[in-house]
Amino acid sequence: NAGVTQTPKFQVLKTGQSMTLQCAQDMNHEYMSWYRQDPGMGLRLIHYSVGAGITDQGEVPNGYNVSRSTTEDFPLRLLSAAPSQTSVYFCASSSRPGSNTEAFFGQGTRLTVV
């Protein structure tokens, strides 16, 4: 059972570089989300998607882009990395929106921007 798979697990970027964090789920879930986790801040919602072709902003969307061309994949793009984007990023998926059912999380991507 793969569940939610995030790649890479670790990444170091230089300021100004771009990259894409990959997220894939094999549970046929409609709802997918990206969060960032910083010390003392808990998890903050970056972007989310309620189905293929539909995305929306969360609490901290600036500096990040997303797209959802398939049900399975929900990549997160950093167009021009900044040190403030150093964080641990988590992707999650669920079969129903919001708090209506449990969310399944990937193992995270630890990103450092120098």
Which residues would be at the binding site for another protein (CB under 8 A)?
4, 31, 33, 35, 40-45, 48, 50, 56, 58-59, 90, 92, 94, 97-108
Q: Which is nearer to another protein, 56 or 69 (CB)?
A: 56
Least spacing, CB of residue 14 vs another protein, in Å = 24
- C-alpha distance from residue 16 to each of 7, 69, 85 (Å): 20, 26, 11
Rounded Cα distance between 2 and 24, Å, is 9
Q: Which is nearer to another protein, 44 or 77 (CB)?
A: 44
Least spacing, CB of residue 114 vs another protein, in Å = 21
